[in-house]
Each structure stands twice: as structure tokens, then as C-alpha cells.
Chains A and B, each alone.
Chain A
Amino acid sequence: MRPTFWQRLDAFARNLTPVALTLVLVILNVVPTHIPGIARVLPVLPLISIFYWSIHRPHLVPAPAVFLIGLFQDGLTGAPMGLHALIFLAVQGVVLFQHKFFMGKSFFVHWLGFGLVGAGAAALSWALLSAFHVTLFAADAIVFQYIMTVAAFPLFAFIFSRWQQAFLKLD
């Protein structure tokens, strides 16, 4: 049976949610918490989202969207424009390249995968920042941020999987 106009609109709206959720995380990431020292080690939440959706619904987070999410992240956080766009694209690229490996694997394999991909992303961001500012960047904050991001992965992966069950089951 051909889906009606409203069914298609409904599906379209649902399909937009992974990108929308990621954008929400970008905004949430910069809301001031006023907790001393936390801003320096706050997890990079959009990274989790991009990793998750690139595995589970890759066609819903196309590369142009990832690029724009990265630009949005750069714009808000004050990082050099293009930095996160590049990092997020790299993460997506690696995930899609290894997509067969990730498909149908358990949560722990995904977590481990995220640990590896995240480490690569952290190293890349350190290298890019150092090159951009033409100085060897202190890596401690980036390392802490990486650890926090990996630690935050299970919670957000859980939320995303619930979301997927609830709104994106048809795919």
C-alpha cells in the first residue's frame, strides 16, 4: 500500500529527529553549569550522537548534515570554524567505513569502538588545534574531555536506542 501524504510527512519528520537531537546536544553542551572546572572537561555530546546514528541510521545523518552540525558546534563554542566539522566528518567516515563490523554487534563492542574512534577524534582535534594556533597545545583538557565523552556514551546511547525504538522503528 502506498503511504498517504500524511504518513510520508510523519516519516519525514521522524527521520529529521537524529539531526535535530544532535543540534539540541550542541546547544546543551554550552549552557552554563557554573560548576567549577566542569566546562573544561564537559563531554562532547554531539560526537556520541553522530557515532550512534552513523551506525544505526546512517542515511538519516548525511555528510552535509554532519558538516553543518560541526559548523554549528564551532560557531557556538568559539572553536576555529571548520574544526568540529572536520572532526565529526572524520568520525562519521570511520564509522561508515567500518559499518559492516559495527552492524549487529553488542553494545559493548560499540562502546569499545567509540573509545577508539573518540581517541582518534581527540588526537585529531589536538593536532588541528596545535596547527591552527601554531603552538603545541596542552593536551590535558582534551584528554579529560575524551574520557568524559566515553563515560557519557552509555547514557546517551541508551537514550538514542529508546528514541529509535519509539520513533524510528519503521526504517
Chain B
Amino acid sequence: MKEPHSFSRVAQPIRNFAQRFAYVGLVVAAFALMMLAKVDTILVERVRTHMTDAVAPILDVLSQPLDTVNRGVAEVQAMKNLYEENTRLREERTRLMHWKSVAEKLEAENRVLKEQLNVIPEREASFVTARVIADTGGAFSQSVIVNAGARDGVEKGQAAVTADGLVGRVIDVGSRSARVLLLTDINAKIPVLVDPTRTRAIMAGANLAKPRLTWLPPGAVVSVGDSVVTSGHAGVFPPGLRVGQVAAVGEGGLIVQPYVDLTRLEYVRILNFGSGGILQLPQRSIDADVPGKERGRRP
């Protein structure tokens, strides 16, 4: 190779030597890092959080034009079937009005019954709405980065939802960004209940499009079309969040079709139930009980 610069001519052999020497070292370092990530997740995750936080403003800007284009496309599509959409919505509205009256009646009934039984009221959730600025739903992991972080009140362990249902859980929080682990990720294990039998199960992701139900109690009866909601067991998620529907009962287990289209997430709501994240899990289950009971007794 021709090297016209004297600077390069001196630097080149040194660089070559360093390169060869460094190469093996770096391969070992990468291996060691993977081992470390397996053992001590906190240290490695902190590095990741800082990295994500640093790039968040760039991603925020880059994701905006694409969002706009997508919204434009969606609007044009909506214009095309305005008429059918209107008819459909009218029908749905009639149906929902009926449901509304039923729900109101049930709510009133429920309130009276709860008062009679002295049930501890559930805590109301506040939420932060955040925009998805990076989608890494690939073969390696299933997560998204949102443009809200610790300064917006997002905490590790909080649930992320859309109007359709559960999206996942916050696993990393930077100051202005956070990473949401989608319920399809291989690390996502969510305690759920399968309605209408209230069968307990764990919904486990596998980096595939649809998660599976595992750890069903023996003799459990679950059929296609049953709805899956979070159970609130283990305190990771608040109970009763809509998750999905049992889509198929196959050889590989029960496959769940999530209600949320995880490939087209634009905005998610991060729910805050006033409780800490997954990290304080052992203390929290005790702490959460005590004040709850006290509050329940209050007149």
C-alpha cells in the first residue's frame, strides 16, 4: 500500500503491531463481557443505560419523520375506507353503549359488595405516555426504547401498556430514556391468569412473535379464544392488565396472541402504581401488605 504521509509511515507499523496484539485481547474481552453480563447484570446494564441515554436525543429526532410518514400513510388509508369505517363504528358504538350500561350496573353492584366485604381498595395508577424511539425487536432481543426516563418518573419494573393491552416491562431507566422489555422477549416471564377458569400460568417469551403459556397446573382446562390477563402474582405487574388471547393449542404448548401489535408500537403508557420496581421485590410484598391493610381499615 502506498503511504504518502510521513506521519502515517511512522505510525503504520506501530499500528499494525498494536492491531494484531490487541485483536486477541479484544476477543477475550468480548467473551469476558458476555460472561460478566450473565453473572453481574447490574454493572453491565448500567453501561447499556448510559449508552442508550446518550443516543436517545438522536433516536428521538430520527424516529420522528418515520412516524410522520407512517401516520400520513395511515391517514390516507383511513380516508379510503371512511364510509365502511363509519358504518362499522356506528355498529360498534351501539354495542358498546349496551356494554357501558352493563358495566355501570356491575360497577355499582361491585362497589356495594366490596363495601360489604371490606375489600382493600386497589391503588389507582398514574401514567406517563412515552414515544417509542427505537425498536430492537430482532432475533437477539425484543425490546423498545422510549423517550421518557427517570426525570419523567419512569422507574424500573413498571408496566408498559397501550390502549389494547400489555406491552412489557421497564427494565432499564436512564435519565431521559428507558428500555421496555417486550412480553415476547426470551427474558420475559409474566405470571398470568387465563379466563374464564382463572387458571394460573406463566407466559414466557422466546424472541418469537408469540409468547407461550407454561407452568400450567395439572389438569388445567384452557381452550382457544380464552383471554389472558396479568395475575399480579410476584408483584411484577399489577393484576388484571389485558395481555392477549390463547391463539392455538399446539404441540409446543399454548400460544398466546398478544392484543397489542408489538411491531407497530408508537406510543406506550408507563403505568405507575406507586410501588417500586422489581428490585425491591422481597421487601415490597411485605411492605405493600401492611399499609394496605391499615388503609383498608380506615373509615
Contact = CB atoms under 8 A, between A and B. Distances in A.
Interface in A95-141: 125, 128-129, 132-133, 135, 137-138, 141
Interface in B10-67: 12, 15-16, 18-19, 22-23, 26-27, 29-34, 36-38, 44, 47-48, 51-52, 55, 58-59, 62-63, 66-67
A8 B26 contact: no
Nearest to A131: B34
A34 B67 contact: yes
B227 interface: no
B199 interface: no
Interface stretch (B111-119, B236-244, B258-266, B291-299): B258-266
A81 B134 CA distance: 18
Contacts of B140: 77-80, 83, 125, 129
A50 B31 CA distance: 19
Contacts of B67: 32, 34
Nearest to B23: A63
A49 interface: no
A162 interface: no
A30 B134 contact: yes
A3 B26 CA distance: 34
Contacts of B139: 40, 125, 129, 141-142, 144-145
B134 A93 contact: no
Contacts of B23: 63, 89, 93
B6 A2 contact: yes
Contacts of B142: 78
Interface residues of A, number: 56
Contacts of B226: none
B198 to A, nearest CB: 29
Contacts of B55: 27, 76
Contact of A37 (B59, B62, B136, B263): B263
A144 B137 CA distance: 14
B245 interface: no
Interface string A68-95: 0011101111111111011001100100
A62 B15 contact: yes
Nearest to A88: B30
A152 interface: no
A38 B51 CA distance: 24
Interface stretch (B76-84, B203-211, B216-224): B203-211
Interface of B: 1, 4-7, 12, 15-16, 18-19, 22-23, 26-27, 29-34, 36-38, 44, 47-48, 51-52, 55, 58-59, 62-63, 66-67, 70, 132-145, 179, 181, 185-186, 206-209, 261, 263-266
6 contacts: A34-B264, A37-B263, A82-B30, A86-B34, A90-B27, A141-B208
Interface of A: 2-3, 8, 11, 27-28, 30-40, 42, 59, 62-64, 66-67, 70-72, 74-83, 85-86, 89-90, 93, 125, 128-129, 132-133, 135, 137-138, 141-142, 144-145, 170-171
